[in-house]
Chain A
Amino acid sequence: MTQKPEDIKVIIATDCGSTTTKAILIQYDEEKGEYRQTYRGEAPTTVESPFEDVTKGVLNSISELSELSGRELLDENNMILKKSSPSEGADIYISTSSAGGGLQMMVAGVVRSMTAESAERAALGAGAIVMDVIASNDHRLPHEQIERIRQLRPDMILLSGGIDGGTKSHVVDLAELISAADPKPRLGIGFKLPVIYAGNRDAREEVSGTLEEKVDLVIVDNLRPVLEKENLGPARDKIHDMFMEHVMQQAPGYKKLMEWTDSPIMPTPGAVGAIIERVAQLYDLQVVGVDIGGATTDVFSVFVDPEDEKPVFNRTVSANLGMSYSISNILAEATLPNISRWVPFPIDERELRNQIKNKMIRPTTIPQTLHSLAVEQAIAREALRLAFVQHKSFATTLKGVQKQRTIADAFVQTGTEGTIVNMMNLDLLVGSGGVLSHAPRRNQSAMMMIDAFRPEGITRLAVDSIFMMPHLGVLSEVHPKAATEVFLKDCLVYIGTCIAPVGQIKESKDVMKYSIDLPQGRQEGMLRQGEMLLFPLGVGEKASAVFEPTGKADVGAGKGTRVETVVHGGVVGLILDGRGRPLMTVPDDKDARIQQMLSWLENLKVYNMDELKALGRA
């Protein structure tokens, strides 16, 4: 980058997805002194035949931007006009890509739960799809591991293992496995497969001796220099570089696109992760972001590790949890009773199965009736819940760390298995992906997110309106200020705040006394177990509130401890969730269940109630 950040006034960003290429325009508002996203264009992606040139789609989307904004962005040669003037051009152009299946990687480490897991975290964090993890203790024989590497043909391999000064033999063995497999890259015949070595410093010589001939070996700092610390940055950056240099080079048109962009192209999920991590860091927030797609669901989170009290970023990809291609799998994993518990009317199994199969065959269909909308949203809840369960089990504290004990530990000793996901500490929950971003009512998005993620205490909810997180992720590498400003102001559509006391309280007993100073007057009352309440509080509005949980309940300050705070509004408002955590069990009886569901949905204005009740009677 040659430009100074303050000289950047107009930004074009594109995200080349597998089906559509989305472009956004970000402009600096001189009057308010802030960056805002102004226009948005979309065009089909043109990676595959007949075009086989990704830039065509990019240009189409940008010309749409141009038309909408009335700003000349392309020159006569159909090139992006660089250097902005008040009426034309842009200062920088950046892009992400997930076309062509994204970045597919294989990672290897010594111990599955230690360096191999760190390597997996690095690869996922960089936006890759991890096809397999090879470890010294993965219970596979060497020939099986070799076979697997050959079979999967990853775009890249990340090899780690051993702390600095630690084991050499295991790492060299892994290098030998890779060497023996002699893997060839998926794209671009004749190229050497990129392998990043981020393991024991002392084993570098041996590893390069083993691998240099056969692969394109790059050495970076150890991603686990000591067991107590992860250093994923260098490996992640190197993955991005190698993604550009190797994988992108091979895809149709990308060579040209890379020349256009002012910053390296990032894999889409990597970019989403980057913006979430940046925002969390900048505003000291603990965040969960979720992107539910057709085939996969990505969960991103930044939580503070209780061990060393530093924020840790995690990303997981639930490859089999998606709302179209893999919708059948949701049914299989979640099981029918778990899905039907969220459906507010009687539904039989066959009906449900039919709808699911239809969706799988015609992935692009959008629910046309309230009936199918409610069912789809019930399925989405389970997909999100399962993805989050997977995320929680992955986002753990580091394993194999020495503990300093005191006598207090004589009574309770916790292992290092613990997840770092602590919902009570969560500040912001961001949803994106069709089913959340494009729900007919935001209230539905809110309900789905609360039911699936079960936020605890006081949590702000938001959705990504037009899916611009990837764009902002790349932008954050170039111009963090612009990226975070746009993220908070334009990218996120605030739904509101959920206040959910934790604790198991008997049915219809008092949970929490509340007193909220809403603009239209003070609201006071008692939240009862099993009750959900909604108070309108608009976008940008704030209200001071006092919550006094009863003895067994906790809204963040401890059991029965009063909390005085300021809550933020949103398109939906304030949601008081009195269902307890863990979430109260759903009655077995069908009628009771539906009755209960209806009362929640009615209070939260989720659906058109008359229509919904009619469905129940039908």
Chain B
Amino acid sequence: MQTSGYRQAFRILIIVMLWAATPAGSLGVEPEDAGTGLPVIPPMNLVAADTPNDNGNGITLRWDCPPGDDGSGAVISGYVVLRSENSREGYLETAVLGPGTAKYIDNGPAADPVTGEKIHFIRNKPYYYRVAARYASGYRAVSGASGPVQGRAQWFHDGKIPVLTATVLFFALVILYIQKARLQGSELYVRPIAGMKEIDNAIGRATEMGRPILYVLGLGSPEDIATIASYTILARVARKTAEYRTELIVPCNEPIVMTIAQETVRNAYMEAGHPDAYSDDMVFFVTSMQFAYVAAVNGLMLREKTATNCYFGKFYAESLLLSETGNIAGSIQVAGTDEVAQLPFFVTTCDYTLIGEELYAASAYLGRDPLLLGALKAQDFAKALVMILIVAGAVLMSFGIDWLLEIITVRM
């Protein structure tokens, strides 16, 4: 914000100098403003150009404010943007702007002064522009025309090059590490996650106790990464409950999540060789209301006396309400979420908690599939890169060198 203020001031200074250096009369006859005694000057150096990186619905106008414009509206009360399909005539107002404005992106309708009809901006149509400065004294000074210029759509947004670079780089990393993992087999080291290991024991516990297992997929929508990770863990849990012949209860908060969870559990029971043990009653929809859901699940816990509760996915305020109830009921609880704010609650009430990314890593951890392990390694490598960038950026910026920032800044 500040820099643009300086820039503005600087620009005005230059204009004032230019104006002062210009021999009188060379700009033609200008009426003098009665109030200030300054000449009434129109906006200068109007340039109309296609707005870059847009869908073609926009033309960017830039001009230099006349020297009288100090942004307060005392001398110049504002500007009017005029658009026409013809360089000489038919200019219609498309925008009224406040004082101190030197840039406008035109994509709106212009009002026909006669009919009042709105004439919309049309992509790829050549337009001419003029900008009029409105003086407080009532004078209106119109700039010269700029154009013709067309609003064109771009196929590629060049401000997003850093994002593209990062994406391609990350993609390459993933592919590279997957290849590497394929060669090494599943020997890649993954830090053991106690919570993941303990899921089997928790299921065993439920089996020995002859009580059901509760699996909560959280409040996330089906496309949340946490929910996706949760499906993987659910598959594993379901396979084990099929194997151990233990009851599994999966109350859902979202209909689509429920459908996917049903499919997951059904497949898991099939893979475990007990398709007969699966029923649609295991995975069911409760409600999408947060606290009504809590009430229902807490009721389940207390009535069915679940021995083991698993919470994996997105959780909000309900995390503690669920896990504390489970804690009171004496169940073993394993949780994992990427909602950082809920982690303290889970840590203190659950036996095991997967923290943030650990949840995402769960599928790689459980499957030990080289493909998934490779992706995990790529992620670690990318994280190292980010760390290097952060340190480098901090050092460079401390010395006032900002090219790194320039390179990685995304201009929307």
Chain A residues at the B interface, C-beta cutoff of 8 Å: 110-115, 136-137, 139, 161-163, 165-170, 200, 224, 227, 399-403, 405-407, 409-410, 413-417
Contact = CB atoms under 8 A, between A and B. Distances in A.
Given A400-B332, A405-B351, A114 B195 contact: no
B348 A407 contact: yes
A110 B203 CA distance: 12
B207 A167 contact: yes
Nearest to A203: B210
A316 B349 CA distance: 36
* Interface-centre pick from A139, A224, A400, A414 (highest chain B CB count, 10 A): A400
Contacts of A400: 201-202, 204-205, 208, 332
A270 to B, nearest CB: 27
B208 A224 contact: yes
A410 B210 contact: no
A111 B348 contact: no
Contacts of B352: 403, 413, 415
Contacts of B347: 405, 407, 409-410
Nearest to B244: A137
Given A111-B244, A137-B244, A169 B210 contact: yes
Interface in B281-310: none
A434 B179 CA distance: 53
Contacts of B205: 114, 227, 400-401
Contacts of B355: 410
A167 B209 contact: yes
A532 to B, nearest CB: 33
B281 to A, nearest CB: 18
B190 to A, nearest CB: 15
Contacts of B192: 415
B194 interface: yes
Given A136-B244, A410-B347, A417 B197 contact: yes
B205 to A, nearest CB: 4
9 contacts: A114-B208, A136-B207, A163-B209, A166-B208, A170-B245, A400-B204, A410-B344, A413-B194, A415-B197
B209 A166 contact: yes
Contact of A406 (B208, B343, B348): B348
A170 B344 contact: no
Contacts of A161: 208
Given A137-B243, A406-B348, A417-B197, A111 B332 contact: no
Chain A, interface SS category: loop
Given A136-B244, A169-B245, A400-B202, A407 B208 contact: no
A167 B210 contact: yes
Contacts of B330: 402
Contacts of B243: 137, 139
A163 B208 contact: yes
B410 to A, nearest CB: 34
Nearest to A136: B244
A407 B197 contact: no
B92 interface: no
B131 to A, nearest CB: 61
Given A111-B204, A111-B244, A227 B209 contact: yes
Contact of B208 (A110, A409, A415, A416): A110
A460 B200 CA distance: 39
Give 10 closest A-B pairs by Cβ, nearest first.
Answer: A167-B210, A400-B205, A111-B204, A415-B194, A403-B351, A166-B209, A166-B210, A410-B347, A413-B194, A400-B201
B209 A111 contact: no
B195 A413 contact: yes
Given A136-B244, A137-B243, A410-B344, A115 B198 contact: no
B359 interface: no
A415 B198 contact: yes
A393 B208 CA distance: 22
B208 A167 contact: yes
Contact of B210 (A168, A401, A406, A416): A168
A386 B345 CA distance: 43
Given A111-B208, A227-B205, 12 more contacts: A110-B208, A111-B204, A113-B200, A114-B208, A115-B208, A162-B210, A163-B209, A165-B209, A167-B207, A403-B352, A405-B350, A407-B347
A361 to B, nearest CB: 39
Contacts of B94: none
A405 B348 contact: yes
B3 to A, nearest CB: 43
A410 B197 CA distance: 17
Contacts of A136: 207, 244-245
Contacts of B244: 111, 136-137
Nearest to A200: B210
A410 B356 CA distance: 12
A210 to B, nearest CB: 17
B353 interface: yes
Nearest to B351: A403
A410 B244 CA distance: 30
Nearest to B352: A413
A163 B350 CA distance: 22
A177 to B, nearest CB: 14
A113 B244 CA distance: 12
Contacts of B210: 162, 165-170, 200
Contacts of A114: 201, 204-205, 208
A415 B351 CA distance: 9
* Interface-centre pick from A115, A165, A167, A403 (highest chain B CB count, 10 A): A167
A113 B211 CA distance: 18
A413 B334 CA distance: 12
B341 to A, nearest CB: 14
Contacts of A414: 194
A136 to B, nearest CB: 6
A416 B201 contact: yes
Interface in B347-387: 347-353, 355
A170 B203 CA distance: 14
A440 B329 CA distance: 62
Contacts of A399: 201, 204
A493 to B, nearest CB: 42
Interface string B57-94: 00000000000000000000000000000000000000
Contacts of A163: 208-209
Contacts of A402: 330-332, 351
Nearest to A409: B347
Contacts of B207: 110-111, 136-137, 167, 170
A403 B198 CA distance: 11
A399 B206 CA distance: 12
Nearest to B192: A415
A106 B344 CA distance: 46
Contacts of A406: 348
A407 B195 contact: no
Interface string B240-282: 1001110000000000000000000000000000000000000
A331 B332 CA distance: 43
A115 B344 CA distance: 33
Contacts of B343: 410
Contacts of B202: 400
A114 B347 CA distance: 25
Contacts of A407: 344, 347-348
